A and B are shown apart, each in its own frame.
Chain A
Amino acid sequence: MKSTRLVAAMAVVILALLPFGVSEYVLHIAIQILIWGYIYTAWSMMGRFGLTSFGHGAFLGLGAYIPALLWNFAGITPWLGIPASMAAAVLLAVVIGYPCFRLRVVGHYFALVTLALSQVVLLTLIAARDVTGGSLGRTLNAVGHSWTALQFPERGYFYFFALVIWLAGLAVWRWIDGGLDRVALEAISEDEIAAASVGIDVMREKLRITMVSAALTALGGALLTQYIQYVNPETVAGVAVSLQIVFAAIAGGMHVLLGPTVGALFTIVLNEALRIVFGIHFIGAANTIYGILLILFIIFMPRGIVGLLEEVFARAFRRSREALGAPATGA
């Protein structure tokens, strides 16, 4: 346990020192990985308990748009706008989650309801084009270097924001893991009726994790917008981004702490590598390979990259124990 903490602390220090030694490009990629890794982590918080949401684009969209519009039209600082967007995401999560859980809409019905929700948010954003700019999106009113507007021309600032928020996301995950809620949620994902019969408040547990996941996702959307200073409905809301979240989280492994982040690392690095290899002439090449990989992941390793690594290590560990003559533990 102690050695794990030491490794974690060292990793954080290395990550914190990273912006001082790398090019702008690498820094940009690193920021993307941290922000998306954080968003995927937020999704996995409910995804790993069998609540497969295809609608996180809705929460991401609220997080991306509310602070941006408040800033552009009312001059309200993102320091207020971001909490407001998180509150809105929680509200939306309750509005959709409460009836879903009350009426036991589960499995792929839940997935389809949330899919419809993300389409509702996407189309509303496009339809309200006088305010949101429609499909063309909106650029934030730029004011240069400003703490009130949370705008910084230097990438370094966003790297640290992303790092802190990503670490906070992991901390929330650990905190959930440490509590009784996790046990309750695991029981619910195994068998809802059995869980209810031993006195677990199924609805409350599900609603709480959904609210947490929605709020954190909205924060990720806000961070993304502050970083690129531009919002576009297709990139933050709708089916495409919702599916992207689901896939990356699954590819990395949604049951493990670092799985979703590995998913972000894997997909973004793969995307960049393919972009460099194929150049701009083959737009779509990256996503084609990505699509094939996703299908293969679902078929052959549904636990994701980190899940597979864990299995491999666990097996190797057991074998070495057996070789040393110690009794094997665990299954």
Chain B
Amino acid sequence: MDIFLLEAILNGILLGGVLALLALGLNLIFGVVDVVWIAYAELVMCGMYAIYWLYAFYGWPFLLACAVTILFVAALGLLVHLLIIEPVLGSAPINQLLATGGLLFFLQSFATLLFGTDFRNLGLRLPLIEISDISISFARLLAFAVALLGAGTLYLFLTRSFLGTAIRAIAQDRDIMGLMGVSQRRIYFTTSAIGGGLAGLASCLLVLQYDVHPFLGNSFGPITFMICVLGGLGNMIGGFIAAFVMSQIISIGGFYFSIEFSYVLAFLLFIVMMFVRPQGIFGR
């Protein structure tokens, strides 16, 4: 097999890890609160700026900056739910989509206002790992490992803890759970905070690979929804697998054609899948 193709496939798997983490957060929120956060990737952008300032500007240790960022983005997630989602919970789904779309505008332009349109990076370059002619970026490998770890922890939390069980129960039947004494509001808050925290974790991993700028979300946002929908909105395992399918298409497509064209392929696949299996590949 062509060594470069192999490298593309490997990189695709590594990219899939981060996309899976993003899709997981979005899917969790969708599955539980039943709202699609169009601005989810913008939360990641906020997190990346937070790390940039804490680490590169104020000189905090990287891990501490990451921990604070995860808490910060989790708080943002909570705030988004409280200020934007809660008032529109009762309205048409399309209005909910639009309200978070307004948030997308707000976050992108607010970041432009605060930080300008410069591309910023940490100035932290992790080494490349070379295994017999194949070079893999260590940052990607780390991102992949942490993303899997994060996904695994979330899975354990959702299946083994009381709160996790309550979250899954709400996703299945929100009316009955109210009668069972579970506060829907509290669960929504918890879920939004966890979703935000996952975005925070993703931003810690992405900041090692990409420069941060206000419109970064545009390159990750659309593909993240496509992944969620492809896996079946709310279906976390489906989303997880779909992330790897999409990242392979992007990576291999980018190898044979160009990177834009590979995204075109990914979006076309999404459109076709919506027609063939609108409930997602793994939907019931």
A residues lining the B interface (CB < 8 Å): 50, 52, 96, 99-100, 103, 105, 107-109, 111-113, 115-117, 119-120, 123-124, 126-127, 238-240, 243, 246-247, 250, 282-288, 290-292, 294-295, 297-299, 302
What residues on B are CB-neighbors of A120 within 8 Å?
Answer: 264, 267-268, 271
Chain A binding site: helix, strand, loop or mixed by DSSP?
Answer: helix
What residues on A are CB-neighbors of B114 within 8 Å?
Answer: 284
What residues on B are CB-neighbors of A246 within 8 Å?
Answer: 98, 101
Tell whether, in the assembled complex, residue B95 and residue A302 are in contact, meaning their CB atoms are under 8 Å apart. Answer: yes
Q: CA of A298 to CA of B83 in the docked complex: distance in angstroms?
A: 12
A124 to chain B, nearest CB (A): 6
Tell whether, in the assembled complex, residue B102 and residue A247 are in contact, meaning their CB atoms are under 8 Å apart. Answer: yes
Tell whether, in the assembled complex, residue B222 and residue A239 are in contact, meaning their CB atoms are under 8 Å apart. Answer: yes
Tell whether, in the assembled complex, residue A111 and residue B94 are in contact, meaning their CB atoms are under 8 Å apart. Answer: yes
Q: CA of A124 to CA of B258 in the docked complex: distance in angstroms?
A: 11
Q: A116-B267, A127-B264, A285-B113 are in contact. Are A295 and B103 (CB under 8 A)?
A: yes
Tell whether, in the assembled complex, residue A247 and residue B267 are in contact, meaning their CB atoms are under 8 Å apart. Answer: no
Interface residue? B210 (CB, 8 A): no
Name the CB-closest residue of B to A286: B109
Tell whether, in the assembled complex, residue A247 and residue B105 are in contact, meaning their CB atoms are under 8 Å apart. Answer: yes
Interface residue? B164 (CB, 8 A): no
What residues on A are CB-neighbors of B97 within 8 Å?
Answer: 52, 108, 111
Tell whether, in the assembled complex, residue A109 and residue B278 are in contact, meaning their CB atoms are under 8 Å apart. Answer: yes
Q: CA of A294 to CA of B106 in the docked complex: distance in angstroms?
A: 9
- B84, B88, B103, B222: most-surrounded residue (chain A CB, <10 A): B222
A206 to chain B, nearest CB (A): 15
Interface residue? B243 (CB, 8 A): no
Tell whether, in the assembled complex, residue B103 and residue A291 are in contact, meaning their CB atoms are under 8 Å apart. Answer: yes
Tell whether, in the assembled complex, residue A243 and residue B274 are in contact, meaning their CB atoms are under 8 Å apart. Answer: no
What residues on B are CB-neighbors of A291 within 8 Å?
Answer: 102-110
Tell whether, in the assembled complex, residue A283 and residue B271 are in contact, meaning their CB atoms are under 8 Å apart. Answer: no
B residues lining the A interface (CB < 8 Å): 36, 84, 87-88, 91, 93-95, 97-99, 101-114, 116-117, 214, 218, 221-222, 225-226, 229, 257-258, 260-261, 263-264, 267-268, 270-271, 274-275, 278
Tell whether, in the assembled complex, residue B99 and residue A105 are in contact, meaning their CB atoms are under 8 Å apart. Answer: no
B141 to chain A, nearest CB (A): 28
Tell whether, in the assembled complex, residue A299 and residue B271 are in contact, meaning their CB atoms are under 8 Å apart. Answer: no
* Among all A-B residue pairs, the 5 with the closest Cβ atoms: A291-B106, A284-B112, A287-B109, A294-B102, A291-B105
What residues on A are CB-neighbors of B112 within 8 Å?
Answer: 283-284, 287
Tell whether, in the assembled complex, residue A105 and residue B98 are in contact, meaning their CB atoms are under 8 Å apart. Answer: no
What residues on A are CB-neighbors of B103 within 8 Å?
Answer: 291, 295
- A50, A246, A291: most-surrounded residue (chain B CB, <10 A): A291
What residues on B are CB-neighbors of A287 within 8 Å?
Answer: 105-106, 108-109, 112
Name the CB-closest residue of B to A291: B106
What residues on B are CB-neighbors of A112 within 8 Å?
Answer: 36, 225-226, 229, 274
> What are 8 sample pairs from A and B whose C-beta atoms fall under 8 A apart?
A112-B229, A112-B274, A119-B263, A127-B261, A284-B108, A284-B114, A297-B102, A299-B88
What residues on A are CB-neighbors of B221 within 8 Å?
Answer: 239
Q: A109-B229, A113-B271 are in contact. Are A288 and B109 (CB under 8 A)?
A: yes
B156 to chain A, nearest CB (A): 30
Tell whether, in the assembled complex, residue B106 and residue A284 are in contact, meaning their CB atoms are under 8 Å apart. Answer: no
Given A111-B97, A115-B225, 11 additional A-B pairs, CB 8 A = A52-B94, A52-B98, A108-B36, A112-B225, A116-B268, A123-B264, A127-B261, A287-B112, A291-B103, A294-B101, A298-B102
What residues on A are CB-neighbors of B214 within 8 Å?
Answer: 284
Q: CA of A291 to CA of B38 in the docked complex: distance in angstroms?
A: 13
Tell whether, in the assembled complex, residue B99 and residue A299 are in contact, meaning their CB atoms are under 8 Å apart. Answer: yes
Tell whether, in the assembled complex, residue B270 and residue A116 are in contact, meaning their CB atoms are under 8 Å apart. Answer: yes
Tell whether, in the assembled complex, residue B225 and residue A99 are in contact, meaning their CB atoms are under 8 Å apart. Answer: no
Q: A292-B106, A295-B106, A298-B88 are in contact. Are A113 and B111 (CB under 8 A)?
A: no
